[in-house]
Chain A
């Protein structure tokens, strides 16, 4: 089962709101990621968690706050966002073994609109 599930699928929020995006996988993957994708652009890496610890933060503004409560769940807390943060937010997961190539599986994404 190569499934990464994300909720909600669509979210509209005001610039003063606090909301969260949620992601879940049951493939036993110990690496989980948040990517941001704008229209007609490739996904851009935001955060990487490995064994529930933050491994990579690609200089993302603090209004985005990731959280990894356990090995299956990944959250992205949103606060005081700007309209330019409107995008598709993709969660992904993969194995974390030092083999040559870790397939990354993406969730369906959460479409975020900031008004």
Chain B
């Protein structure tokens, strides 16, 4: 089955700096890679996703890159703000058969200090 590794486990950044979280996956057939943000006591919320036919996707201050050959994908947050503080989970799945069977990474606790 799919195995997703996520690094780092914690990330402290100064407000205004950039944050980068990296994930690797094992199943070369995985073709959908969402990122979820979970604030303390709240639900995981999708912030951005990327499909395997795309190498990069951007949404305002957030971007995701995918390297299929190396089987890794990364989340980039620019101009970080205190409200970016949360746990971020990457995930991977092969949607052609097992829809919704997301395999999550272990999570990254991001702390943005003013």
CA distance A105 to B38 in the complex (A): 13
Task: State which of B43, B99, B104 has its C-beta within 8 Å of the C-beta of A102.
Answer: B99
* Residue from A48, A56, A101, A106 whose CB has the most chain B CB atoms within 10 Å: A101
Is the pair B42, A48 in contact by a Cβ cutoff of 8 Å?
no
CA distance A50 to B5 in the complex (A): 28
Closest to B44 in A: A106
Is the pair B44, A100 in contact by a Cβ cutoff of 8 Å?
no
Knowing A42-B107, A100-B51, the reply to whether A106 touches B43 (Cβ < 8 A) is yes
Closest to A97 in B: B99
Render B20-46 as a binary contact track against A, CB cut-off 8 A, 1 for contact. Answer: 000000000001101010000011111
**Chain A residues within an 8 Å CB radius of B45:** 106
Query: What is the number of residues of chain B that contact chain A, defined by CB distance less than 8 Å?
Result: 26
CA distance A50 to B95 in the complex (A): 14
A-B residue pair count with CB separations less than 8 angstroms: 68
State whether the Cβ of B52 lies closer than 8 Å to any Cβ in chain A.
yes
Closest to B43 in A: A106
**Chain B residues within an 8 Å CB radius of A103:** 34, 46, 49
Is the pair B101, A100 in contact by a Cβ cutoff of 8 Å?
no
Query: What is the number of residues of chain A that contact chain B, defined by CB distance less than 8 Å?
Result: 26
* Residue from A102, A107, A108 whose CB has the most chain B CB atoms within 10 Å: A102
**Minimum CB–CB distance for B16 against chain A, Å:** 27
Q: Of A11-19, A64-72, A78-86, A88-96, which stretch is located at the interface?
A: A88-96
Show the binding face of B for A, using Cβ within 8 Å: 31-32, 34, 36, 42-46, 49, 51-53, 87, 89, 95-96, 98-102, 104-107
